[in-house]
Amino acid sequence: MIPVYEDNHIIIVYKNSGEIVQGDKTGDEPLSETVKKYIKEKYQKPGNVFLGVVHRLDRPVSGLVVFAKTSKALTRLNQMFRDGEVHKTYWAITKDSPKESEGMLTDWLVRNEKQNKSYAYNHEVPNSKKAILQYKVIAHTDNYNLLEINLMTGRHHQIRCQLANMGCPIKGDLKYGAKRSNPDGSISLLSHHVEFAHPVSKELISIDSPVPDDNLWKALTESL
């Protein structure tokens, strides 16, 4: 966990792959608790620290996570996420190349709770939700592509599922068809950029994430 932005109302941190944002059945300490401890120590706060979770990243994904430090910010950020006023850009590494270097994907996703997996269809089916994203290849090496992705909707495992359905599973994402795992258990998906009007001051917040400490990530992003 690396703090990348903080003021009285919000804190944005870099989540390492493997960290969970909120507590789950594993019992592992979630990122929300780590951030609470950081705030408590930094400001020597007595008692409980307020921290509101407004969105999540899958466990094997790294990158930016926004938390609310006040109830006012939490209420407003929740509404902003619902209204699509928080703009997030993701970077993903794939081995297979898309047929088109940029485009828009529209699928209908069905979530299987037991498998913790989503399935994509090219038409509406029972219990499906429409999923739309834009992608663009922004860099490549001989063997890998770096895609920039903007979500138009927010569905379970949306990027992972839609890219796999296009024939371009994310590097390391065994669940969605990658040939092999990454050594550290991550998948090569990064929540790279977040931009929104501050929920209280209305100033523009525009933050870029650090890139994972990995040679392939560095090779693909060094010229950007």
pLDDT of residue 223: 84
Phi, psi for residue 17 in degrees, rounded to 5: -60, 145
Residue matched to tokens 């780590």:
34
**Distant-in-sequence, close-in-space partners of 116: CB < 8 Å, separation ≥ 6:** none
pLDDT of residue 27: 80
Q: According to the model, what pLDDT value does residue 117 have?
A: 97
CB pairs under 8 A, 24+ apart, for 170-178? 170/92, 170/93, 170/94, 171/93, 171/94, 171/95, 171/144, 171/216, 172/60, 173/60, 175/117, 176/117, 178/95
Give mean pLDDT, residues 34-44: 95
pLDDT value of residue 23: 78
pLDDT digits (tens, 9 = 90+) for 98-154: 999 999 999 999 999 999 999 999 999 999 999 999 999 999 999 999 999 999 998
Q: Tell me the per-residue pLDDT of 143-188, one tens digit each, with 9 for 90 and over.
A: 999 999 999 998 999 999 999 999 999 999 999 999 999 999 999 9
Q: What's the pLDDT band for 26 if we cut at 50, 70, 90?
A: confident
Are 120 and 135 in contact by the 8 Å Cβ rule? The answer is no
